[in-house]
Amino acid sequence: MKITLSITHNCNLRCEYCYAGEKFNRIMDMDTAKKIIDFAFAVTPSSESIDFGFFGGEPFLELALMEDIIAYIHTKDVSNPITFNITTNGTLFNDTILRFIRRHNIQLSISIDGPEHIHDKKRKYKNGRGTLKKVLKNLEEISQELDYFQVNAVFGPDTVVQLDNTVQFLMDEGVHNIHLNPDISAAWDEEHLPLITQSYKEVANTYIQMYENDQEVAVNLLDNKLILFLKGGYEASDRCGMGESEFGFSPSGNVYPCERLIGDDTDVDMMMGNIHTGVNLLARCAVGKQFASSNAECGECTFKKYCMNWCGCTNYHMTGATDKMSAMMCHSERHAITVAKHVFNSLQENSLFAKHMLGYTHKE
């Protein structure tokens, strides 16, 4: 079960592509948070793990609230394995935050889009100043203190050609877990598709080179597909459980099938009720039915079993329908699968790569 609490609509940044909508000072209260936790345990079988995520806005603006929520979770007499994750812009960091992360073994996802000319173009403070300098200063400490963290890099039509630069830049900064995510709010056109093809090839070649130089790295664009080759494709349980085994809650307690759909908490089409008045099961069924891709071309597509065309949230952001994959994502998936196959074939004899893949099969 994946439960994400968007604990504040507030943020100290004003990124150009922010999915969290308008910023305002609405913070989740403890009564709402407690009801969400109670709901999470009520709908999750006792043998199943629960991953609690903190999201925003910027969650580290509300450190005390996160402490209280985690303390409340620990008062529960339950047997579910529990994990925590936080998505942060990486600008707020100090010893208290570090101790909090370590104490609760929290998985940290930090947003860094690449070198200064890429990151600072979009990820800015309210006064328009770029944030990279501050984030890199914090990253230095984070990489010394934490064994595991990941970096999320968002790329758009204007920066996709520099994707490989971003990967190399992050590796030079000591990042070993890199998540490359397209900006799903951007206007991707036909003209951008060849740029995606070229950039994915470059990233794959850099990845191969890293392993040939005996350096381990994880890049979601490739690793997500490489795992699928070992498994023989997505299983039903891999697909996102929007509104079934995945819920996002806004500060007001409104329930959404995914945290990326919360925005500024006004999209009534995606709302599935409120934690204070109950989750609307009819809405939940209606939303849940629409996740399989209905694109005609998917039917016979040879990439189908490795393709994420089922991601209702991405589809909804890009086409307005949870069951319609955009041309950009279709192209992106085809080429991610193609370059991952090239990586797989090229590194078959590489022992570090074999160890890296074995790590995933042990986690399954």
Burial group, residue 74, by CB count within 10 angstroms (0-12, 13-18, 19+):
exposed
Q: Which is nearer to ligand SF4, 88 or 162 (CB)?
A: 88
Which of 303, 294, 301 minimizes the C-alpha distance to 321?
294
Give how far Cα 75 sits from Cα of 67, 99, 299, Å: 13, 20, 48
Q: CA angle, 252 as apex, 251 and 256 as ends, to 5°?
A: 80
Separation of alpha carbons 106 and 203, rounded Å: 29
The structure tokens listed for 66 are: 């996160």
The structure tokens listed for 138 are: 């914090």
Q: Which is nearer to ligand SF4, 14 or 356 (CB)?
A: 14
Q: Which is nearer to ligand SF4, 6 or 168 (CB)?
A: 6
Separation of alpha carbons 117 and 126, rounded Å: 18
Considering the complex, what minimum distance in angstroms separates the CB of residue 90 from ligand SF4? Answer: 9
Q: In what order do the strands lie in the sheet with 246-249?
A: 218-219, 177-182, 150-155, 107-111, 82-88, 50-55, 2-6, 246-249, 255-256
Binding site for ligand SF4 (CB under 6 A): 11, 13-15, 18, 20, 56-58, 89, 293, 295, 297-298, 301, 303-304, 307, 309, 325, 330, 333-334
Q: Which is nearer to ligand SF4, 194 or 359 (CB)?
A: 194
Cβ–Cβ < 8 Å for 243, 287: yes
Separation of alpha carbons 234 and 305, rounded Å: 6
Q: Which is nearer to ligand SF4, 143 or 295 (CB)?
A: 295
Q: Which is nearer to ligand SF4, 115 or 273 (CB)?
A: 115
